[in-house]
Amino acid sequence: MSKINDLMARGTELLGSDYAILCGAMSWVSERHLVSAISNAGGFGVIACGAMTPALLDAEIAGTKALATRNFGVNLITMHPQLFDLIEVCAKHRVGHVVLAGGLPPKGSLEAIKASGAKVICFAPTLALAKKLVRSGVDALVIEGMEAGGHIGPVSTSVLAQEILPTLADEVPVFVAGGIGRGEAIAAYLEMGASGVQLGTRFVCATESIAHPNFKKAFLRASAREAVASVQIDPRLPVIPVRALKNAGTEAFTVKQREVANKLDKGDVDMMEAQLEIEHYWAGALRRAVIDGDVENGSLMAGQSVGMVSEEESAAAIVASLVQQAEAALHARG
Ligand SMILES: Cc1cc2nc3c(=O)[nH]c(=O)nc-3n(C[C@H](O)[C@H](O)[C@H](O)COP(=O)(O)O)c2cc1C
């Protein structure tokens, strides 16, 4: 067994894949084609449910099953109003792995997923919450730093890894995400105790990704410093920062926040509705860029590793080069 397989053993056992390299769910991007291509290449693809209805998720899982020869997972957002219906759809299809994103799992959700026989993987933003999730029975954790694309927390990947891996890596498999563009970084996190990694940005330009050619072109051109975090303009309206390439859409988000903050002031919406309106805005803006190709006004969610995306290549080629780089790094260290 090679060293990378050794270090990833708990991750690959949990996922049932050749390599514990997850392609993190990306709304609009992580649909049947990319998900099946990643899993068929030996990694682990995850469908992004995002704001899908149960019927749409049902169709997407069926479509992915038709293309995938290996395991794949489904990412559900905890604040989705129909979360429990979505869990039922996953159970109906006997999806083996459900990834819960977007905040602490609501009461009963972990139990409902586990009752279906699926493994539950949760995002852990701090050590305290990670410990709580482990006590609640999650099967694995993802720790994602602020270098990542999409919605982000405030702490960097390297700091989260140092805080969480020494304490929890022996208890459950931990997958490290955020800012990983090459295999050398994968090797380093495996040596620190991670059981695997999750990448998003690096897979956007896979040949099998249905992202619009304009979206892919923007990724191929961009450097790390262009992937910036959104700014909260009103202290009364907390918004989760989103990392994306800077464009006219970045300014439009400022305008949107003002509009929602005004509605909040007038009492037209409560805080929960205000935050949901912001999330719907992002989903729409991302669709505009990923599907319609409007890279000026849509949202170009991307992580800082975007500077390491230099060509369109197959999912299998990306997985192979990450593995080869990680192997070489581990080998060089003896
Ligand atoms: C375009 C885009 C869309 C994303 N959408 C989601 C999502 O819907 N749900 C989620 O949990 N994470 C989402 N993410 C985060 C990824 O799943 C992954 O954790 C992240 O991209 C890893 O960091 P990296 O971009 O530095 O590789 C998204 C990321 C990107 C780039």
Are both 98 and 178 inside the same structural domain? yes
Same domain flag for 243 and 328: no
**For ligand 1, what atom is nearest to the CA of residue 286?**
1
Average pLDDT over residues 224-232: 96
Please report, for the domain that includes residue 43, its CATH number: 3.20.20.70
Mark whether 35 and 73 lie in a shared domain.
Answer: yes
User: What DSSP character marks residue 129?
Assistant: H
Identify the three-state secondary structure at position 56: helix
Asked if residue 209 lies in contact with residue 35, where contact means CB atoms within 8 angstroms, the answer is no
Residues 269 and 299 reside in one and the same domain: yes
- Given a cut of 90, is residue 285 above it in pLDDT? yes
260, 197: one domain: no
pTM of the complete model:
0.97
Domain count, the chain: 2
Ligand 1 center from residue 200 Cα (angstroms): 5
Whether the per-residue pLDDT at 18 is higher than 90: the answer is yes
Same domain for 172 and 234, yes or no, is no
Strands (E), the chain: 21-23, 44-48, 72-77, 97-101, 119-123, 140-144, 150-151, 174-177, 196-199, 227-229, 242-245, 300-301
Regarding whether 260 and 194 lie in a shared domain, the answer is no
User: pLDDT at position 236, please?
Assistant: 87
Q: Which atom of ligand 1 is nearest to the CA of 203?
A: 27
| Structural domain that includes position 121 | 3-210+308-332
The residue-averaged pLDDT of 259-278 equals 92
Does residue 48 sit in helix, strand or coil? strand
Mean pLDDT of all residues in 17-36: 98
Q: For residue 307, give the DSSP letter.
A: G
- Measure the CA–CA gap between 76 and 99, rounded to whole angstroms: 6
Nearest atom in ligand 1 to the alpha carbon of residue 244 is 31
Mean pLDDT, residues 213-233 taken together = 97
Mean pLDDT of 62-83: 96
Residues in the chain: 334
pLDDT score at 276: 85
Residues 89 and 227 reside in one and the same domain: no
How much distance in Å is there from the Cα of 104 to the middle of ligand 1?
18
Give the pocket of ligand 1 (CB within 6 Å): 24-27, 29, 48, 50, 75, 101, 144, 147-150, 177-180, 198-202, 301-303, 305
- Percent of the chain residues past pLDDT 90, beyond the cut: 93
Question: Binning pLDDT at 50, 70 and 90, where does residue 1 land?
Answer: low
Residues 201 and 224 placed together within one structural domain of the fold: no
Per-residue model confidence (pLDDT) at position 333 = 86
Give the residue from 180, 229, 173 showing the smallest Cα distance to 203: 180
271 and 324 fall within a common domain = no
Q: Are residues 95 and 203 in the same domain?
A: yes
Taking only the tens place, the pLDDT of each residue in 44-72 is 999 999 989 999 999 999 999 999 999 99
* Residues 20/46, Cβ–Cβ less than 8 Å: no
* Distance between CA atoms of residues 32 and 18, nearest Å: 19
Are 127 and 221 members of one domain?
no
Q: Average pLDDT of 267-283?
A: 91
